[in-house]
Amino acid sequence: MFKINDNFLKLPGSYLFSTIARKVSEYKSANPDKEVISLGIGDVTKPLVPAVIEAMHKAVDEMGTAQGFHGYSPDLGYEFLRKAIAKHDYEKRGVKLDLDEIFISDGAKSDCGNIVDIFATDNRIAVTDPVYPVYVDSNAMAGKTGEYDKDKEAWTDVIYMPCTAENGFVPAFPEKTPDIIYICCPNNPTGTTLTKAQLQAWVDYAIEKDAVILYDAAYEAYIHEDDVPHTIYECEGAKTCAIEMRSFSKNAGFTGTRLGFTVIPKELTDPTTGAQLNSLWARRHGTKFNGAPYIIQRAGEAVYSPEGQAQTREQIESYMKNAKTIRDGLSGAGYTVYGGVNAPYIWMQTPDGMSSWDFFDKLLTEANVVGTPGSGFGPSGEGYFRLTAFGTAENTAKAVERICKL
Amino acid sequence: MFKINDNFLKLPGSYLFSTIARKVSEYKSANPDKEVISLGIGDVTKPLVPAVIEAMHKAVDEMGTAQGFHGYSPDLGYEFLRKAIAKHDYEKRGVKLDLDEIFISDGAKSDCGNIVDIFATDNRIAVTDPVYPVYVDSNAMAGKTGEYDKDKEAWTDVIYMPCTAENGFVPAFPEKTPDIIYICCPNNPTGTTLTKAQLQAWVDYAIEKDAVILYDAAYEAYIHEDDVPHTIYECEGAKTCAIEMRSFSKNAGFTGTRLGFTVIPKELTDPTTGAQLNSLWARRHGTKFNGAPYIIQRAGEAVYSPEGQAQTREQIESYMKNAKTIRDGLSGAGYTVYGGVNAPYIWMQTPDGMSSWDFFDKLLTEANVVGTPGSGFGPSGEGYFRLTAFGTAENTAKAVERICKL
C-alpha cells in the first residue's frame, strides 16, 4: 500500500498567494463593477524591455532553423549567460567566481524550494520573521520543521528571528544554534536591508557555528544606498558558508518569463564529510531539472547588454518612484511605514492594532486595494501589511489616495 | 553544524548522460579531426515547426507591450493550454479530465524527479529494468532506495522488474509487493510497448495492491500500432491508481524549449487518509515552482493547432524513417534489434556478449558513433545498447553504415 508524504497534511491552509488570489477572485465575481487595484503579490507590470524582446525574437528565429536549433541545454546553463553573470554581478563587485559555481534555473522560487533536497532532514533552520513563505513551506514538506502549532502560527522546530520596528528589522543571533540560516536582503516582505557590517557579522556567526547561509538576493537591483551589500560574497569568508540565489523577475520583469540562478562556491563544504555542496547541487540539477529554455537564457543575456542595462535600470527607477509615492502618501496620512528605499516593498503598520487579515479585508472591500497581510509571512508579521511598488504609476497613486481616505 | 543529505553520497558515479557527454568531449578534444555522430542522448535535431515559431514571435511581441504583458502564470498553467491538452490528448481518446487535473510544467524530467516529494520515504518502488535513470536517482536522493550494491549495480530496496528479450520486454508482477510502480510506455530505453491488455493487467494489479502507477508517456506521439494505449486512462480504473506524465520534447522538439505536464485525477486518493494526491501536488507545484514561461505555454498551444499537428506529425514520421534505417541496417548486418516501431529508440544486443560500456568505447573510437550503454539504464540493460532516431537522415545512414562495417 503506498503512503503519501504526510508532512503535506501538516501545512496550514494553502500557499499564501493562492489564498489571496482566491479571495480577490471571489470579491471581483461578487462585485463586477468595482475596479480592484493590486499592490499585493510581488508581480511586475511593465513590459519586457526592447533589448530583451529583440534577443528573444532572434533566438526564436534560430530555433526555427536547422543550424540555429538548440536542444537540451548544458547541465549548468549556457556559458554565454553564466559569463555575463560572473562579469556583471560579481567581478564588478570584486568577487571572482568560476563558471561552474553558477547554476542557471527557471527562477529563484524553484531554487529556494529545491535547495532543501541537498540537506539532511535533521538540520534546524532559522528564518527571519516575517519571511518569504517558500523557505519554511519547502522545509515543512520535507519534514524538517517539526509540528505546526496553530495557536502560535509557528512550526515547533523552526527558529524564528523576529524582525520588527523594535529591532530595526535586523535579526539578533538566536538562542538556539541554527544549522541553516535563511537571509533575504533586500528583504521580502519588509523592504529593509542589512548593512555590510551587519551581514558580515552573520557570515562570521555562520562560520563559527558551521552553519550555512541561504542568501536570497532577488531584490539586489533595487539597492540605492551605498552601505548595502549587492552580494553576500562581498563579505569576507562568505564563500565558505553561503549559497546565493538570484532572480531575473524583479530586475528585468521576468516573473512570467522565468529565469534565475544559484551560486554555490566550491569552498563551501560539508563539515562532516568534506563533500562540496556544489557537487551535490550539480547532481540534483542534472537529475531533476533539464535547463531553462534556450530562448529565455538568451533573454537573460540581453539584460546584461548596455541597452538592456539602461532599459531595465529605467524600469527599476520608475518602480522606485511608486515606492516613494506610497511611502510619502501613507506617511503624510499618519501611517507608519518602512522599506521602499532599497526595495520595491513598503511595510506598513496596520492602523489601530488591527489584525493584518482584517486590514486585508477592509482594504479589499472598502478601498478595492489588494495588499498582503503581514501575518502571512510569519508570526512577527502580524500587525503589518505589505504593499508593492510594481503597479503602474497611475494605479499606485490612485490606491494610495483610496487608502488615505479610509 | 549543518548536515548534508548523505543519500547523495550513495549515488554511483555521475548522471549517465553527463558521463557520456564527458567521454565524448574528451574523445573529440583528443581527436579534433574525427567526425563524431551522436545517436546517444535522446535529443531531437529538427528545428521547431513554423506554427510554433509563429506563436512564439507573437507571444514575444505581447510581452513587449503593456496590454499584452504576462507576469506570473496561474499556478496550474494557462487554461488555453490545459484546454488544448484535455481536448486533444484525452477527449479524443475517450478520457474526460477536469482542467485542474492537469498541471503544466517545464518538462517531464522535472515532474518525474519532483513527484517523489509527495510520497513518504518508506514506499517501496518498482521499476522496469532497464529504466530511465531519473526514476531511481530521484528516489535515491530522497533516501527511498536503501543502499547501493556495487557488485549487483542495484539498490537494495528497489524492486527491479527485468525486461529483456526473454520475456518480450513485458515486466512480470514482482515477488515482493511494490507501493509505487514506474511504467514508461512506449519505453525508454528499449523502444518496446505494452498492449492495452497488458497495461490493463498492471492497472488491475495496482488497484488490488493499493499501489500507485507513475506512468511516463513522453513518447506517446510515436505510437503507430493500434493496440498500444496512448494514455493509461484508456484502462478501466486507472484514474484511481495512476499519475501520467507527458512531455513536448519528443512530439514537438521542445528539448531546449521545456514544456511538459502531469495529470493527477481527483479519484486518486491516499488509501490511509483519503487525501487527494491532486491537492498534494497542487501544493507542491504552487510552493516550489512558478510556472512555465508564458511564451513557451503559447508555443505548446500552437502544437495543437491544425498546422502544428500536421507539421509535428511530419517531423515524427521523418524520425521514424531513421528508426527504420537503423533497424533494417543493423538487422541486415546480423545484429539483433528491438524497438523502433512505436518509439524513436532502437535497443540492440551487443555483439559477442560484449559489455555495454565496452561496446560504447568501441563504437566511439572505431566508428565515431555515440550511443548509450544499456547497463546505464539498470542491471538488465547489460548486453544491450540504445541508439536513437533523432539524428538527421544523412547522419543516421552514415552511422549505421559505420557500425555495419565494424
pLDDT digits 0-9 by tens, B2-35: 999 999 999 987 667 778 989 999 999 999 999 9
| Residue A109 region by backbone torsions, left for phi larger than 0, else alpha for psi between -120 and 50, else beta | alpha
pLDDT tens per residue, chain A (406 residues)? 999 999 999 998 766 777 898 899 999 999 999 999 999 878 899 999 999 999 999 999 999 999 999 999 999 999 999 999 999 999 999 999 999 999 999 999 999 999 999 999 999 999 999 999 899 999 999 999 999 998 888 899 999 999 999 999 999 999 999 999 999 999 999 999 999 999 999 999 999 999 999 999 999 999 999 999 999 999 999 999 999 999 999 999 999 999 999 999 999 999 999 999 999 999 999 999 999 999 999 999 999 999 999 999 999 999 999 999 999 999 999 999 999 999 999 999 999 999 999 999 999 999 999 999 999 898 899 999 999 999 999 999 999 999 999 8
Chain-chain contact of A1 with B257 (C-beta, under 8 angstroms):
no
- State residue A166's pLDDT score: 95
Q: SS3 helix, strand, coil % of chain B, rounded to 5?
A: 45, 15, 40
For B305, phi then psi, to 5°, come to -70, 160
For B236, phi then psi, to 5°, come to -65, 130
Distance, in angstroms, between A91 CA and closest chain B CA? 28
- State residue A14's pLDDT score: 65
d(CA A90, CA A95): 5
| Residue A237 region by backbone torsions, left for phi larger than 0, else alpha for psi between -120 and 50, else beta | left
- HEC profile for B356-387? HHHHHHHHHHHHCEECEEHHHHCHHHCCEEEE
| Set of chain B residues whose Cβ sits within 8 Å of the Cβ of A272 | 1, 3-4
CB contact A274 to B (< 8 Å): no
Interface test with A, best of B141, B247, B269, B290 (most A CBs within 10 A): B290
Q: Out of B17, B69, B296, whose CB is closest to A293?
A: B296
CB < 8 Å & 24+ apart, contacts of B270-278: B270/A2, B270/A3, B270/A4, B271/A1, B271/A2, B271/B210, B272/A1, B272/A3, B272/A4, B273/A4, B273/A6, B273/A9, B275/A4, B275/A8, B275/A9, B277/A4, B277/B118, B277/B212, B277/B243, B278/B100, B278/B101
pLDDT digits 0-9 by tens, B104-158: 999 999 999 999 999 999 999 999 999 998 999 999 999 999 999 988 888 999 9
- State residue A103's pLDDT score: 98
- State residue B379's pLDDT score: 87
- State residue B15's pLDDT score: 67
Question: Which residues make beta-bridge pairs with B397?
Answer: none
Please give the grid coordinates belonging to residue A188.
521580502
Kindly identify which residue of chain A lies nearest to residue B125, measuring between CA atoms.
A2
- State residue A250's pLDDT score: 95
CB contact A56 to B (< 8 Å): yes
Chain-chain contact of B256 with A294 (C-beta, under 8 angstroms):
yes
d(CA B8, CA B30): 32
Please report the residues numbered 167 through 186 in chain B whose beta carbons come closer than 8 angstroms to any beta carbon of chain A. 179-180
Chain-chain contact of A288 with B63 (C-beta, under 8 angstroms):
no
| Set of chain B residues whose Cβ sits within 8 Å of the Cβ of A288 | 109-110, 113-114, 134, 138, 141
pLDDT digits 0-9 by tens, B149-198: 988 888 999 999 999 999 999 999 999 999 999 999 999 999 999 999 99
Please give the grid coordinates belonging to residue B361.
568505447
- State residue A15's pLDDT score: 67
End-to-end C-alpha distance for chain A, whole angstroms: 56
Q: Out of A72, A109, A255, whose CB is closest to B41?
A: A72
Rg, chain A, Cα only: 21
Q: Is residue A89 within 8 Å of A102, Cβ to Cβ?
A: no
CB < 8 Å & 24+ apart, contacts of B81-85: B81/B297, B81/B298, B81/B300, B81/B301, B82/B261, B84/B300, B84/B301, B84/B304, B85/B246, B85/B261, B85/B304
- State residue B24's pLDDT score: 94
Q: Is residue A246 within 8 Å of A233, Cβ to Cβ?
A: no
d(CA A315, CA A321): 10
Distance, in angstroms, between B330 CA and closest chain A CA? 27
Q: What is the pTM of this model?
A: 0.96
Beta strands in A50-185 (DSSP E): 102-105, 125-129, 148-149, 154-155, 159-162, 180-184
Q: Is residue A225 within 8 Å of A236, Cβ to Cβ?
A: no
- State residue B14's pLDDT score: 65
Q: Is residue A370 within 8 Å of A40, Cβ to Cβ?
A: yes
CB contact A29 to B (< 8 Å): no
Give every CB contact of residue A126 below 8 A, 6+ residues apart in sequence. A158, A159, A160, A161, A174, A178, A180, A181, A182
Q: Is residue B43 within 8 Å of B255, Cβ to Cβ?
A: yes
| Set of chain B residues whose Cβ sits within 8 Å of the Cβ of A41 | 72
Q: What Cα–Cα distance (Å) separates residue A168 from each residue in A165, A403, B257? A: 5, 25, 45
d(CA A185, CA A345): 12
The candidate with the shortest Cα–Cα distance to B323, out of B250, B227, B241, is B250
CB contact A371 to B (< 8 Å): no
d(CA B390, CA B373): 17
| Set of chain B residues whose Cβ sits within 8 Å of the Cβ of A17 | 286
Kindly identify which residue of chain B lies nearest to residue A212, measuring between CA atoms.
B2
| Set of chain A residues whose Cβ sits within 8 Å of the Cβ of B65 | 47
d(CA B201, CA B239): 14
- The identity of residue A95, as a single letter, is V
Give every CB contact of residue A248 below 8 A, 6+ residues apart in sequence. A107, A254, A257, A259, A260, A300, A303
pLDDT digits 0-9 by tens, B54-83: 999 999 999 999 999 999 999 999 999 999
- State residue A153's pLDDT score: 84
